[in-house]
Structure 1
Amino acid sequence: MRILLVGAGLSGAVIGRTLAQAGHDCHVIDSRDHAGGNCHTERDAATGVMMHVYGPHIFHTDDAEVWDYVNRFADFLPFQNRVKTTSRGAVYSLPVNLLTINQFFRRTLRPDEARAFLECQADTSIADPQNFEEQALRFVGPDLYEAFFKGYTEKQWGCDPRNLPASILRRLPVRFNYDDNYFFHRFQGMPREGYTAMIRAILDHPGIATDLNTPYDPAMAGQYDHVFWSGPLDGFFGYRLGRLGYRTLDFERFDYDGDYQGCAVMNYGDREVPYTRITEHKHFSPWETHERSVCYREFSRAAGPDDIPYYPIRLVREKALLEDYVRLAQATPGVTFVGRLGTYRYLDMDVTIREALDTGRDFLARAAQGRSPAAFVHAPL
């Protein structure tokens, strides 16, 4: 079959490779001038630093098949994300761990003592936390919440933390040891030559043609047997039901002679600091040496029609609108919606690859059985 894949990011590349290896003729297009989507990396001409152009991406997974898959196409080197945060004029370690607790409260607590101490700090009257703030107050108490979570969350999401689901905070564990590795996963690393080189390698197959600077036109669909869409779900339908809400990011670049902050990511928890964090890109490639440095101040705001959508909001209004778009998508033959934008979910890179592998295999299985492809292999709701 002739397959059109809209978007040359991880979803389009992995699905395209899966189908091309099965003998299908795949055409990948992207409106941007590079492959890789928001994972795009490029070497900065002035400093030689490998830049994460749309913000940092750290690969981490417990999925051994996905880890083996990416290592087929790139040389991954060890990297652990060790985030720091500046709050009230001091620097602390994240996620909140035993060092953070002892430093913040000026104690020398052992793990069991720290557990008991935080339980005394916590609001135990909150039996079933219903929002982000209640979740924080129940499990870390008001002092840690105010210092590390409240201001940062207000800046990141642009709303009162009481309007956010408790599940957001459940992704930020408190550790009662001195482990400051941000992720728990077995496999963690960075591709030596960046993500764009890896994705180009995935696309490098005789059954795949890739065209950049090529926006999708609905008239294209008639030239193919099936379309995989990794752009915004509402965008495929011309936003006819309204726009789903996203947060976007603005990056303020500045260069520095030397080492600006000594780590890859420095969060800023104080509400009066307008940016959420500063990233120093040479620290994402610790095997390289660069005299000069490139940093980004990162600002979060509501996405407008011409902005790059980063984080789906998925609050009550968006979920109701999403249900309407899902019904519309399921009634639209000839297209499968994939990836972070196509399913309106926040997805880490490893999950994106896992779902792309699943989607490609599902398509092949349905074709072998004479069944129509699914609109969603992984449901947005």
Structure 2
Amino acid sequence: MTPSSAPAAGPAGRPLHIGMAGAGLSCAVIARELAEQGHRCTLFEKRPHVAGNCHTERDEKSQVMVHIYGPHIFHTDDDEVWALVNRYMRFMPFVNRVKATARGQVFSLPINLHTINQFFGKTFSPAEAEAFITQEQADTSIADPQSFEEQALRFIGRELYETFFRGYTLKQWEVDPKRLPAAILKRLPVRFNYNDNYFFHKHQGMPENGYTEMVEKMLDHPNIEVKLGTPLAPDALAEFDHVFWSGPVDGFYGYDLGRLPYRTLDFQRSEAEGDVQGCAVMNYCDEAVPFTRITEHKHFSPWETHAASVCYTEFSRSCGEADIPYYPVHLTEGDDLLKAYQARAAAEPGVTFVGRLGTYRYMDMDVTIRAALDTARAFLAKH
């Protein structure tokens, strides 16, 4: 018997029947790992497609591959995760070179030597730029930054912070940057060279035929059943030997303690001929501009050629009951409501909470996959 078909022992020596809420990356990875060890997995997905918020589909008119819920760019240093996604879909090279419109000019992000020289009207060398930022711009009186704003002031100074981050952050979170944790800004590097690659991971790319086809292949296994347009009701948990829940952790409990705060996104879609903005992502940093960025989706597939274009203008707002939650909101003053839900979830028998919504934390796709792999392997080790 091959490893992919050998059943793992469950109660009374039988394979387990696993229920899963959601068919995004977390549950897809876990389901495949468990299915290959002989367990039967049933995934319930309330939307009409798999892949969650990284769902992609081709626009019928332009044939552009559109990231329906906003752009998802894969980047990782995890060799195993990179090998896993390439098992189901070939990843093509893609470098995210973000531009930013601010104060009537277009700059390069993340802040790099070109940005610094352009903004300050200088011709600094790398060493000169680093000395200028660290010694003349940065607020070195802030020894231990606790907030987003303190983190920015400590490392890049007030001028760069107020130009590129303050207005954008206010639009994205609708919260004063003084109340946001410093960790949010730690993901945005400053470079004292002309490297304008937004990410620094060794593996970067896009799935050749989109994320949805990749996840569909991941779920293509005789031990996996997917029920689209069908949510998993909490009162149906008893039907399964174990449940992996990738929906909102507060939703599992019927929001009985209150709703955890999320940000959601609205997209104003537009179509045009030709090249609209010349890049995949253009941030709009001025607070007076109501949207945060415009994404031009054909640039996410640079190996393809399209005469027409599809753009999304992105607006961020507080998530309502009927909205799709995107980003969990963490504040510097603590999360008492979250702690209460997490305490209940940790003690929940027969249920494992996974993914961005189940654990209430923002995770890039590679981190999501790594967490799912680790969760699946820990579960198999116990069964």
Give the aligned partner of residue 373 of structure 2. Answer: 357
* Aligned 1:76-155 pairs, distance under 5 A: 76-119=91-134, 120-155=136-171
Cα distance change of structure 1 residues 129 and 316 upon mapping to structure 2, 3 Å threshold = closer
TM-superposed deviation, 1:318:
6.4
Contact 1:245/1:318 (8 A) holds in 2: no
Partner in structure 2 of residue 41 of structure 1: 56
Q: Provide the rounded CA distance (Å) in 2 between the counterparts of 1:218 and 1:154.
A: 36
Amino acid at match of 1:335: V
- Residue 11 of structure 2 is matched in structure 1 by none
Matches within 5 A, 1:329-340: 329-340=345-356
After the TM superposition, list the runs of 4 or more consecutive aligned residues in structure 1 that deviate by more than 6 angstroms.
none
Report the TM-score, using the length of structure 2 for normalisation.
0.94
5+ long unaligned stretches in structure 2: 1-15
1:255 is matched with which residue: 251, 271, 276?
271
CA contact (8 A) 1:88 1:147 kept: yes
Superposed, 1:214-229 pairs within 5 Å as 214-229=230-245
1:202 positional shift? 0.3
- 1:20 corresponds in structure 2 to 35
Which residue number in structure 1 is paired with residue 174 of structure 2? 158
1:335-377 CA distances to partner (integer Å, 9 max, x unpaired)?
100000000000000011111111111111011xxxxxxxxxx
Residue of structure 1 in register with 2:87 after alignment:
72
The answer as to 2:193 corresponding to 1:177 is yes
Moved more, 123-132 or 279-288: 123-132
- One-letter amino acid of the counterpart of residue 152, structure 1: Y
* Alignment check: 8 A CA contact 1:230 1:338 kept: yes
* Structure 2 equivalent of residue 379 of structure 1: none
Residue 217 of structure 2 is aligned to residue 201 of structure 1:
yes
Aligned partner (choices 319, 322, 325) of residue 335 of structure 2: 319
The code of the aligned residue for 2:49 comes to H
Q: Structure 1 length normalisation: TM-score?
A: 0.95
Give the secondary-structure state (helix, strand or coil) at the position aligned to 1:278.
Answer: strand
SS in 1 for 2:335: helix
Q: Is the Cα contact below 8 Å between 2:294 and 2:314 reproduced in 1? A: yes
Q: Partner of 1:294: helix, strand, or coil?
A: strand
Paired residues for 1:49-64 under 5 Å: 49-64=64-79
- Deviation string 1:113-144 (CA, Å, 9 cap, x unpaired) is 00111120122222222211121112111111
Relative to 1, partners in 2 of residues 1:126 and 1:303: Cα closer, same or farther, differing over 3 Å? same
Contact 1:3/1:227 (8 A) holds in 2: yes
Counting only pairs closer than 5 Å after superposition, residues 248-287 of structure 1 correspond to structure 2 as: 248-287=264-303
Q: Distance in 2 between matches of 1:165 and 1:202?
A: 36
Percentage of matched positions with identical amino acids: 66
Q: What is the alpha-carbon root mean square deviation over aligned residues?
A: 1.0
1:378 equivalent in structure 2: none
For residues 162 and 211 of structure 1, the distance between their equivalents in structure 2, rounded to whole angstroms, comes to: 44
Q: Give the aligned length.
A: 367
Q: How does 1:232-243 map to 2 (within 5 A)?
A: 232-243=248-259
Aligned counterpart for 1:302 among listed residues 282, 303, 318: 318
Secondary structure of the structure 1 residue equivalent to 2:133: helix
* Structure 1 residue 60: Cα displacement: 0.4
Deviations 1:170-191 (A, max 9, x none): 1111100000001110100100
Where does residue 3 of structure 2 map in the other structure? none
Quote the Cα distance in structure 2 between the aligned partners of 1:127 and 1:102: 27
Task: Structure 1: give runs of 5+ residues left out of the alignment.
Answer: 368-381
Q: Read off the aligned partner of 1:17 and give its amino acid letter.
A: R
On the 8 A contact 2:181/2:332 being kept in 1, the answer is: no
CA offset digits 1:270-300 (Å, max 9, x no partner): 0000000000000000011111100000000
Q: Which amino acid aligns with 1:193?
A: N
Distance 2:223 2:100 in 1: 47
Does the residue aligned with 1:85 lie in a helix, a strand or coil?
strand
1:189 aligns to what SS in structure 2?
strand
In 1, the alpha carbon distance for the partners of 2:89 and 2:362 equals 24
Matched with 2:6 is none
Give the deviation of 1:320 after TM superposition.
Answer: 1.1
CA distance in 1, matches of 2:230, 2:153: 49
